[in-house]
Amino acid sequence: MKIESNGECLCISEIQELTAVTSASFRDGVGYALNESTSVIEIDLSQTRFMDSSGLGALFALYRATAKRDAFVMRLLNPVPEIEQLLELTQMQQLFEIVRR
Amino acid sequence: MKALLICPMERPSVPRLAEAGPLATAPILGDCAVCHWIEHLAALGARQIEIIAPDGASQVREAVGDGARWGVRVSVTASSIEPTREEAVDQYQPEVKAGWLPAPHDVVVMSHLPGSSGPPLFESYASWFAAILAWMPLALTPARIRVEQVRPGIWVSSRARVSPTAKLIAPCWIGDQVSVVAGAVVGPDAILEDRSVADGTARITRSWVGPDTFVGPMTCVANSLAWGSTLIDWRTDSLLHVPDPFLLSSLARPTSAATTDRFGRALATRRPAEAKHGLITAMRVPLGSTADLKLHA
């Protein structure tokens, strides 16, 4: 997993899978990189091939942690169709901005 | 009167429908496709039906038995090819066609549901879904005494359990022994096949839910075919093997460790990356097993 802070934007990419095994390190890594000036989080899911409820929980925890910030945006970039299906199944696509670039 | 019924071979466009059995035995509104056709031909006057089965002849034979259920005699013949209607006429029908149902019912290629001019069944997942949806009003035959139309466009089995606080939106089909739990929303354009469960506040719309499938609380199945733990978006053919059984899973008792759900079985053997998740599902204890263990203890 790669985390880059670009001013106001925190970009997370190269996530192979987001599961019970990897979600804790995802949460810790993003939590460490997140600071007061961050107003956008972009999570690139183009390489994510597998996600389970722990992974969804990690995304939701991040959403909750940032939901109270003014004008905060959390984007999921280029999820593969299977991950998009999972987001729709759990209705989590309503929480995030899903963007294709 | 005689009739000939030609079953389909496996189609590359809908591989998941044929993983556990031939397409002819795929479940449709409480019965399998070939059974619907036998019932239809019997109603037209057929008393002897020969079935040509290019795929899974033994499973077709098991599904239809000897035909006594419909008051007809049924024989199943294995074939290495799926003949066209013309080829079947040449090969199986005598020149003198006395004693056969009048054309076109004498030789039937099972590409549609009986009496339907709707989309072909096996062209794509989208056409499979559209064909079933279009056929719902025609599925209530005199032999199907357990299902009734409770409101326009809403068909419910008398043995289904629908919570008073669940919402059914036409058109929808609630099959035999289905449970629709409080707060669930089913429809429009939704089919719950036999013994499936829509748990509390689940939403099922523009989708087909296969038999023995659990749709978990707060999940939203839309534009999909859901069977066991597998979800197929019929618009894109995208397939997801849902890893968490509380979201979507099979309720069928596995006959072996590998047959927990029909779609998932082949995934576990064909795609190594997904095999481990298939194994997790296969190891899941089915409902009722706990009680069994206690009884045996």
Q: pTM value?
A: 0.85
A100 touches chain B (CB under 8 A): no
| Mean pLDDT value across residues B118-147 | 90
A97 touches chain B (CB under 8 A): no
Mean predicted lDDT score pLDDT of chain A:
93
Domain residue ranges of chain B, discontinuous segments joined by +: 2-138, 147-292
- Which has the higher per-residue pLDDT, B146 or B292? B146
Tell me the shortest Cα–Cα distance from A6 to chain B, in angstroms.
Answer: 34
| Mean pLDDT value across residues B44-72 | 95
Q: Which pLDDT belongs to residue B271? A: 41
What tens digit of pLDDT does each residue of B208-221 get? 999 999 999 999 99
Straight-line distance from the first to the last Cα atom of chain B, in angstroms, rounded to the nearest whole number: 57
Q: Please state which of the ranges A62-66, B90-94, B182-186, B280-284 shows the lowest mean pLDDT.
A: B280-284
Kindly provide the ipTM of the predicted complex, given to two decimals. 0.89
- Which has the higher per-residue pLDDT, B278 or B7? B7
Taking each helix axis as running N to C, give the angle between helix A23-33 and helix A53-66, from 0 to 180 degrees, rounded to the nearest 10: 20
B239 chain-A contacts, CB cut-off 8 A? 82
Overall residue count recorded for chain B in this entry? 297
Q: Does residue B152 register a pLDDT over 50?
A: yes
Q: Does residue B111 register a pLDDT over 70?
A: yes
Q: Is A66 helix (H, G, I), strand (E, B) or coil?
A: helix
Comparing alpha-carbon positions, the chain A residue that sits nearest to B248 is: A89
Nearest to A60 by CA among A36, A86, A38: A86
Task: Write the residue in B236, B246, B247 that is nearest to A81 by C-beta.
Answer: B236
Q: Please state which of the ranges A69-73, B71-75, B220-224 shows the lowest mean pLDDT.
A: A69-73
Q: Which pLDDT belongs to residue B277? A: 40
Q: What angle do CA A35, A40, A41 make, to 5 degrees?
A: 85
Q: Is A29 helix (H, G, I), strand (E, B) or coil?
A: helix
Phi, psi (deg, nearest 5) at residue B112: -125, 170
Q: Is B129 helix (H, G, I), strand (E, B) or coil?
A: helix
| Chain B interface test: which of A50, A86, A89 (most B C-beta within 10 Å) | A89
Interface of A with B in 10-49 (CB under 8 A): 49
What tens digit of pLDDT does each residue of A45-78 get? 999 999 999 999 999 999 999 988 888 999 999 9
Question: Which runs of consecutive H residues, i.e. helices, occur in chain B?
Answer: 33-43, 57-64, 85-92, 125-135, 262-270, 272-283, 289-296
Residue A4 identity: E
Task: Write the residue in A52, A81, A85 that is nearest to B243 by C-beta.
Answer: A52
Domains (range + CATH), chain A: 2-99 (3.30.750.24)
Task: Write the residue in B236, B247, B273 that is nearest to A90 by C-beta.
Answer: B247
Q: Which pLDDT belongs to residue B256? A: 53
Q: Does residue B284 register a pLDDT over 60?
A: no
Mean predicted lDDT score pLDDT of chain B:
86
What tens digit of pLDDT does each residue of A10-57 get? 999 999 999 999 999 999 999 999 988 899 999 999 999 999 999 999
Record the tokens describing residue A69, joined without a space.
Answer: 């910030």
Q: Which pLDDT belongs to residue B88? A: 87
| Chain A interface test: which of B221, B240, B281 (most A C-beta within 10 Å) | B240
B215 touches chain A (CB under 8 A): no
Nearest to A38 by CA among A17, A69, A76: A69
Q: Does residue B112 register a pLDDT over 90?
A: yes
Comparing alpha-carbon positions, the chain B residue that sits nearest to A53 is: B244
Interface contact A85-B247, CB threshold 8 A? no
Comparing alpha-carbon positions, the chain A residue that sits nearest to B232 is: A85
Tell me the shortest Cα–Cα distance from B207 to chain A, in angstroms.
Answer: 12
| Mean pLDDT value across residues B197-214 | 97
Q: Cα–Cα distances in Å, from B220 out to B156, B176, B206, B211?
A: 21, 22, 11, 18
Comparing alpha-carbon positions, the chain B residue that sits nearest to A94 is: B220
Q: Does residue B255 register a pLDDT over 70?
A: no
Task: Concatenate the DSSP letters of all residues of B25-89 into one string.
Answer: G-EETTEEHHHHHHHHHHHTT-SEEEEEESS-HHHHHHHHTTSGGGTSEEEEEE-SS---HHHHH
Tell me the shortest Cα–Cα distance from B146 to chain A, in angstroms.
Answer: 31
Q: Is B293 helix (H, G, I), strand (E, B) or coil?
A: helix
Q: Does residue B295 register a pLDDT over 50?
A: no
Tell me the shortest Cα–Cα distance from A29 to chain B, in angstroms.
Answer: 24
Q: Does residue B289 register a pLDDT over 70?
A: no
Comparing alpha-carbon positions, the chain B residue that sits nearest to A85 is: B240
Q: Does residue B290 register a pLDDT over 60?
A: no
A85 chain-B contacts, CB cut-off 8 A? 224, 231, 233, 238, 240
- Contact, B181 vs B200, CB < 8 A? yes
Q: Which pLDDT belongs to residue B263? A: 56
